[in-house]
Amino acid sequence: MTTIPITTRLPEWMDQEIRAYWRRHGEKPSPGYRRVIEEWWVRENLPLLEFRDGVSGRRAGVCAGPDVWEVAWIASEYGHDVAPVEAHFGGYVPREAIEQALRYAEQFPEVIEEQIRENERVENLLGRLSLPL
């Protein structure tokens, strides 16, 4: 992916706020700005998605629904056909939200692939640790 540097001037109070936010998330300025801008883009273009902080880090999710990586993972099982994905979630996740989640996954494939790999890693680890009943 080609990247283009940009700069901006901020009031001092806003600079302090954004730097404090990055410290809380363990980020440096360049990736921190990029994430803030990406999240702005998602909110402007995919309004049925939101961002959540959790033990696995910050991730995109369907508002009041599953994480985007989960939708993308399920969609891959159905050849990215929205109708069976919608049925899989029992109508709980609206078609438009599924479509927006898949658009996010298309726009940010490296993020989704990383989250799926991490889920598979944890699943394998838990499988090895499971104790007989």
In a domain, 1, yes or no: no
- pLDDT values of the chain reduced to their tens digit, one per residue, 133 residues: 688 888 889 999 999 999 998 898 888 988 888 888 999 999 999 999 999 988 878 899 999 999 999 999 999 999 999 999 999 999 899 999 999 999 999 999 999 999 999 988 888 888 877 656 5
Same domain, 59 and 109: yes
Strand blocks (E) in 32-123: 49-54, 57-62
| Count of structural domains, the chain | 2
CB contact at 8 A, 33 and 41: no
Same domain, 60 and 103: yes
Q: Which domain holds residue 16?
A: 11-45
